[in-house]
Amino acid sequence: MLALILILVSAVYFPGVIVKTKAIFSGRKGPGILQPWYDIFRLLKKGSVYSTSSSFVFQIGAPIYLATVIVAALFIPFEENNSIISFSGDFVLFAYLLGLGRFMIIVSALDVSSGFEGMGANREAFYSMLMEPAFFILLGSLAMFTGYTSFHDIFANLHYNSYFSFIIAVIAGYVLANITLVETSRLPVDDPLTHLELTMVHEVMVLDHSGFDLGIIKIANNLKFILFSTLSANCLIPQSMELWVRVSVFLIMQVFFAAGIGWLESFRARNKMAMNAQYILSINAVALILIFVAMIIKNKI
Amino acid sequence: MMVILFKIALLLSFGMFFVPKKFKYILGLVLHLVLLVSSTSWAWYVLNNSTLTIDLGITTWSGPIKLVIDPLSAYFMLIINLICFCGMLYASGYLKPYLPKKRSVFISLHLFSFLWLHGAMLLVVSMQDGIAFLLAWELMSLFSFILVIFEAQKESTLKTGINYLLQMHLGFALIMLGFLIAANQTGELSFAGVNKFFSLSSNTPLFLVFFAGFGIKAGFIPFHSWLPRAHPAAPSHVSGVMSGVMIKMGIYGIFRVSSLLQQDLQSIGIIVLTAGIVSGLLGVIMAIMQHDLKKLLAYHSIENIGIIGIGIGVGILGKANGETYLMILGWGGALLHTLNHALFKSLLFFTAGNVFYATHKINMDHLGGLAKNMRYTSGAFLIGALAISGIPPFNGFISEFLIYNGIINHMSDSAFTSSIFSVVSILSLVLIGGLCIYCFTKAFGLSFLGTRRAEHSAPVVEVPAIMLVPAFILILCMLAIGLAPVFFVNQVVIVLQNLTQTSLTIEPLLYSLRSISHVNIALIIVIITIAGLRAWQQSLVKVAKGPTWGCGYTAGDFRHQYTPTSYADSLRELTDPLIEYHRDYKSFEESEIFPPPKSFHTENKDLVEEKTILSWVHLIVNHLPKAGIAQSGLINHYLIYPMLFLMLIGFLIIINVL
Task: Give the tens place of pLDDT for each residue, B23-68.
Answer: 889 999 999 999 999 999 999 999 888 888 888 777 777 678 888 9
In 3-state terms, what secondary structure has residue A33? coil
The tens digit of pLDDT for each residue in A32-60 reads 899 999 999 999 999 999 988 889 999 99
All residues at 6 or more sequence positions from A80 whose CB lies less than 8 Å from its CB, including other chains:
A152, A155, A156, A239
Residues A263-288 have pLDDT tens digits of: 988 888 888 888 888 999 999 999 99
Higher pLDDT, A193 or B97: B97
B66: Cβ contacts below 8 Å, ≥ 6 apart: B53, B54, B55, B56, B128, B129, B132
Mean pLDDT of the B258-280 span: 91
Model confidence pLDDT, tens digit, residues B221-232? 888 889 999 999
B77 has a pLDDT exceeding 90: yes
What confidence score (pLDDT) does residue B56 get? 77
Q: Closest chain B residue to A102 measured between Cα atoms?
A: B437
Residue A301 banded pLDDT, cuts 50, 70, 90: confident
Does position A161 have pLDDT exceeding 70, yes or no?
Answer: no
Given a cut of 80, whether residue B649 has pLDDT beyond it is: yes
**Distance of residue A209 Cα from the nearest chain B Cα, in angstroms:** 10
Complex ipTM: 0.95
Report the pLDDT averaged over residues B120-124. 93
Phi, psi of A166 (to 5 degrees): -65, -40
Number of other CB atoms surrounding residue B640 within 10 Å: 10
CA distances from B274 to B269, B300, B327 (A): 8, 18, 17
Distances (CA, A) of B319 to B24, B267, B331, B419, B608: 50, 12, 10, 16, 31
**What count of Cα atoms within 13 Å lies in the side-chain half-sphere of residue A58?**
30
Lowest mean pLDDT among B255-259, B450-454, B530-534, B548-552: B548-552
Does the beta-carbon distance from A107 to B444 stay under 8 Å?
A: yes
Lowest mean pLDDT among A104-113, A227-236, B512-521: A227-236
Residues 255 through 284 of chain B touching chain A, CB cutoff 8 Å: none
Dihedral, CA of residue B450, residue B451, residue B457 and residue B458, to nearest 10: 70
B441 contact residues in A (CB cutoff 8 A): 103, 106-107, 110, 121, 125
Contact of B219 with B286, CB cutoff 8 Å:
no
Beta-carbon count within 10 A of B15 CB: 14
Residue A41: in which H helix or E strand, if any?
helix A35-45
Q: Does A49 touch chain B (CB under 8 A)?
A: yes
Residues A174-193 have a mean pLDDT of: 84
CA–CA dist A160, A162 (Å, integer) = 6
Rounded to the nearest angstrom, the minimum Cα separation between B410 and chain A is: 9
The pLDDT, as a whole number, for residue B600 is 81
Distances (CA, A) of B424 to A277, B411, B420: 20, 11, 6
Mean pLDDT of B488-517: 88
The answer to whether residues A213 and B537 touch, using CB atoms and an 8 Å cutoff, is no
pLDDT of A152:
87
**E-state strands within B47-168:** 52-60, 63-69
Would you state the pLDDT for residue B294? 93
Decide if A295 touches B, using CB distance below 8 A.
Answer: yes
Q: Is B286 within 8 Å of B357 (Cβ atoms)?
A: no
Q: State which amino acid sits at residue A23.
A: A
Residue B646 makes CB contacts below 8 A (sequence gap 6+) with: none
Count of residues making up chain A: 301
CB pairs under 8 A between A and B: 253
- Rounded to the nearest 10 degrees, the angle between the axes of helix B564-574 and helix A115-146 is 40
Contact B562 A119 (CB under 8 A): yes
C-alpha span between B297 and B232 (Å, rounded): 9
SS3 A78: strand
Q: How far apart are CA A279 and CA A15, in angstroms?
A: 25
| C-beta atoms of A55 and B433 within 8 A | no
Distance CA B434, CA A127 (A): 9
pLDDT value, residue A217: 94
Mutate to test the interface with B, among A70, A122, A218 (most CBs of B within 10 A): A122
B425 vs B307: CA distance, rounded Å: 10
CB B572 within 8 A of CB B581: yes
How many angstroms separate the CA of residue B561 from the nearest CA in chain A? 5
| pLDDT for the residue A232 | 87
Q: pLDDT per residue over B429-486, tens digit each?
A: 999 999 999 999 999 999 999 888 887 777 888 899 999 999 999 999 999 999 999 9
Of A200, A196, A195, A190, nearest to A264 by C-alpha is: A190
B246 within 8 A of B185, measured Cβ to Cβ? no
Cα separation, A113 vs B547, in Å, equals 10
Confidence bin at B416 (pLDDT 50/70/90): confident
Please determine, for residue A72, whether its predicted confidence score (pLDDT) is greater than 90: yes
pLDDT for res A160: 66
Phi and psi (nearest 5°) for B63? 115, 180
For residues B241 and B83, is the Cβ–Cβ distance under 8 A? yes
The least confident of A220-234, B215-229, B288-302, B554-568 is: B554-568
At residue B5's C-alpha, the angle toward residues B3 and B9, to 5°, is 120
Identity of the amino acid at B254: I
- What 8-state DSSP symbol labels residue B187? S
Nearest CA in chain B to A128: B434
Q: Using the beta-carbon criterion (under 8 Å), do B560 and A93 form an inter-chain contact? A: no
- Residue A162 predicted with pLDDT over 70: no
Residue A54 CA to residue B548 CA, distance in Å, equals 9
Beta strands in B406-546 (DSSP E): 543-546
d(CA B632, CA B594): 57
C-alpha A3/C-alpha A73 separation (Å) is 9
| Of residues A208, A212, A210, the one with CA closest to residue A197 | A208
Q: Rounded to whole angstroms, how far apart are CA atoms B258 and B246? A: 19
Q: Return d(Cα B58, Cα B3) in angstroms, integer.
A: 12
Half-sphere exposure of A290 (CA within 13 A, CB side): 32
Q: Is B438 within 8 Å of chain A by CB?
A: yes
- The average confidence (pLDDT) of chain A is 88
Give residue B563's pLDDT.
Answer: 87
Length of chain B: 658
The DSSP secondary-structure symbol of B223 reads: S
Lowest mean pLDDT among B306-310, B503-507, B615-619: B503-507
Cβ distance B534 to A100 less than 8 Å, yes or no, reads: no
Q: Give A53 to chain B, closest Cα distance, Å.
A: 6
Average pLDDT value over all residues in chain B: 89
Residue B375 in contact with residue B438, Cβ under 8 Å? no
Return the top range by mean pLDDT from B282-286, B411-415, B629-633.
B282-286
- Any bridge partners for residue B584, and if so which? B601
User: Hey, is B593 helix, strand or coil?
Assistant: coil
CA distance to partner chain A, nearest, from residue B94 (Å): 26
CA distance A149 to chain B (A): 7
Q: Does B521 touch chain A (CB under 8 A)?
A: no
Residue B400 has pLDDT above 70, yes or no: yes
Give residue A189's pLDDT band: very low, low, confident or very high (50, 70, 90). confident
User: Are A71 and B379 a contacting pair at CB < 8 A?
Assistant: no
Our CA dihedral for B551, B553, B555, B561, rounded to 10 degrees, sits at -40
Q: Is the pLDDT of residue B569 over 80?
A: yes
With b for 16 or more beta-carbon neighbours within 10 A and e for fewer, the A197-221 pattern comes to beebbbbbbbbbbbbbbbbbbbbbb
Q: What is the mean pLDDT of residues B541-559?
A: 80
Residues B173-189 have pLDDT tens digits of 999 999 999 998 888 88
